[in-house]
Structure 1
């Protein structure tokens, strides 16, 4: 088990992984990480368009939410 603050930071940059190393649900967290990778791939393939900006905001909210979720799960 990793320090809850370290897990939260990891989860911000790699959603799903921080909670996974804390002992969370494996299948759920792998799906969360795969969705993050797909969103990132779509975002960077549309670089320079309005879709990029919208997806960047969505990915940021996604990262913040799962970092918060990891922090709450660690308590």
Structure 2
């Protein structure tokens, strides 16, 4: 069975910095990534009514940290 390539935790974090959820999709967590994208889309809309400015950065930072940690865990599992 061929070994699986490692995931770059840095790439996962940068992708999530570009748009929340991209890092999760890169890590193979498709549903989680889509959910984060939807939440950030809603938060971006809520910026118009001044509520999103609280939640948008929270979800954005969570997405980056989670993507980084999940890539690290993935790499530990395939070693």
Tell whether the structures are fold-level matches, with TM greater than 0.5.
Answer: yes
Runs of 4+ in 1 over 2 A off after TM superposition: none
| 2:18 corresponds to 1:21 | no
Indicate if the aligned counterparts of 2:13 and 2:23 stay in contact, CA closer than 8 A. Answer: yes
* Normalised TM-score (structure 1): 0.74
| 2:66 corresponds to 1:69 | yes
Backbone CA RMSD of aligned residues: 1.7
Q: How does 1:1-75 map to 2 (within 5 A)?
A: 3-24=8-29, 26-43=30-47, 45-46=48-49, 52=50, 54-75=51-72
Unaligned runs of 5+ in 2: 1-5, 73-79
What is the Cα deviation at residue 16 of structure 1? 1.1
Alignment length, in residue pairs? Answer: 67
Indicate if the aligned counterparts of 1:17 and 1:29 stay in contact, CA closer than 8 A. Answer: yes
Unaligned runs of 5+ in 1: 47-51
* Normalised TM-score (structure 2): 0.71
Structure whose alpha-carbon radius of gyration is higher: 2
